Chain A
Amino acid sequence: MNRAPWLWAILFALWLVLSWHFTGLFLFFGVVTCSIAVFVVARMGVLDRESLPVHLAWRAVTYVPWLVWEIFKSNVRVARIILSPRIRVDPSIVHFQASQRTDLGRFIYANSITLTPGTVTTGIVGDDFEVHAIVQEEIDGSEENIMNRRVARLEGEAG
């Protein structure tokens, strides 16, 4: 799949939203700017499945709301720890194997882990994740497992 038209369309939509002027001159500037940007990106050779994962877009429609709900729940848990009169934390660093096959899938999983408060990805080597958790239960729970499987499904068969 050729990704250059996708990138161009996304950039031009961004231009339209941020400028909101529909005179000929501004549209002309937008077309020129987006074309230069796409040309530079293509020349750098970074226009591939990893930098522009449009093939994940329709599966992300169900993943993102679920992730927001998870973020909300873990926010409430961390808030309870912080607001308790005596801070009770039991932080630890754990290692585990993630089941994603591609670097993009691991990237999404690592960022999802970091985005939920209570767990931060501190390093990845291969499929070995190193995660810092503020309390042991944050990483022990079945929710990390569910997230792992969800990201593996988001990544899809095409991998």
Chain B
Amino acid sequence: MFAVSAAAVLVCMVLVMLRAVLGPTAYDRVLALNNIGTKTVVLIAVLGFVNGRPDFLDLALAYALINFIGTIAVLKYIEYGDLGVSAPRETGTE
């Protein structure tokens, strides 16, 4: 039954990859990539159960971390053209 779930995740990845290729703006692509990362986390978890050896969950945890940081880094690069700058201080809270 886990193979069905893995197949669903793979179908989703193909659909979202389509959006990443088509996406008119860079933000569409970043959003699609972030989404593919989330699906990869789920896929790693499910594949562990397909093989009957759910030892890859630590990898899923690490992948979730890297996916988040990568998305933020790419967005920052798009917005400022540089990873070293810090955002200008605004009044109020973000």
Contacts and interface: CB of A to CB of B under 8 A. Distances in A.
- Direct A–B contact in complex, judged by CB atoms less than 8 Å apart: yes
Interface string A37-60: 000000000000000000000000
A125 B92 CA distance: 5
B58 interface: yes
10 contacts: A18-B58, A106-B93, A107-B93, A124-B92, A124-B93, A124-B94, A125-B92, A126-B91, A126-B92, A126-B93
Contacts of B91: 125-126
A103 interface: yes
What is the predominant secondary structure among interface residues of chain B facing chain A? loop
Nearest to A125: B92
B22 to A, nearest CB: 16
Interface in A79-130: 103, 106-107, 124-126
Nearest to B91: A125
A103 B58 contact: no
A33 to B, nearest CB: 16
Contacts of B90: 125
Interface string B73-93: 000000000000000001111
